Amino acid sequence: MKQLWAPWRLEYVSSADEIQGCVFCTAAAGDDEEGLVVHRGTEAFVLLNKFPYASGHVMVAPYRHVGELGDLTDEEALEVHRLISQGLAALAETYAPQGYNIGWNLGRIAGAGIVDHTHAHVVPRWAGDTNFMPVLADVKVLPEHIAETRRKLAAVWPG
Ligand SMILES: [Zn+2]
């Protein structure tokens, strides 16, 4: 039976302004399961969005706390792209989505929840799902718990 509610997203809606510190730096420094880290590269890493727009919504971020896309080193930029590609492979194997949106939300006006640690979003898409990057308060229906999503993606990650 599918869940018709997403408590972690509701939690975000009510506490988005109260989050302390940088979630990316915290996740990078901490435990994989706790931080929802799917894969760690040399310069960048992959984590699940704790407040996803779809099952399998991952984010790719440099380890370095850097806010400007243009401030990424060549090595960071390259690995972010490689990790995005690997993420597509892992998502394809796990969820067989029909398409993907890949993007960077730069600045709050563009939908970025965290503006000072740049990160790319990879959102799997299926026919009949919702629009990319809905507004913050728009609560989505998610069929699977996020810890299970992390485990599945980590298990099939290429390489
Ligand atoms: Zn950070």
Measured in angstroms, how far is the CA atom of residue 90 from the centroid of ligand 1? 25
Q: Which two structure tokens, joined as six digits, stand for 100?
A: 């993907």
Q: Which band of pLDDT confidence, cut at 50, 70 and 90, is reported for residue 112?
A: confident
The token duo for 112 is 């970025």
Of 65, 119, 121, 145, catalytic: 119
d(CA 63, ligand 1 centre) in Å:
7
- The set of residues, in sequence order, having a beta carbon less than 8 Å from that of 25 and lying 6+ positions away, is 65, 117
Residue 119 annotated to the active site: yes
* Helix then strand then coil, % of the chain, to nearest 5: 40, 15, 45
C-alpha of residue 46 to centroid of ligand 1, in Å: 13
The per-residue pLDDT for 5 is 46
Task: Supply the pLDDT for residue 142.
Answer: 57
Global confidence as pTM: 0.79
Query: CB-side exposure of 24: number of CA atoms within 13 Å?
Result: 22
Residue for token pair 């699977």: 144
Give the Cα separation of 146 and 50 in Å (integer): 7
Q: How far apart are the C-alpha atoms of 59 and 51, rounded to whole Å? A: 11
Distance 102 CA to ligand 1 centre (A): 20
What are the angstrom distances between the C-alpha of 10 and each of 53, 69, 104, 126? 12, 29, 23, 23
**48-88: per-residue pLDDT in tens?**
988 887 889 999 999 999 999 999 999 999 999 999 999 99
- Nearest-angstrom CA–CA distance, 142 and 21: 27
How do residues 3-50 score in pLDDT, each as one tens digit?
444 544 444 444 444 456 899 999 999 999 999 999 999 999 999 988
Q: Ligand 1 centroid vs 72 CA: distance in angstroms? A: 13
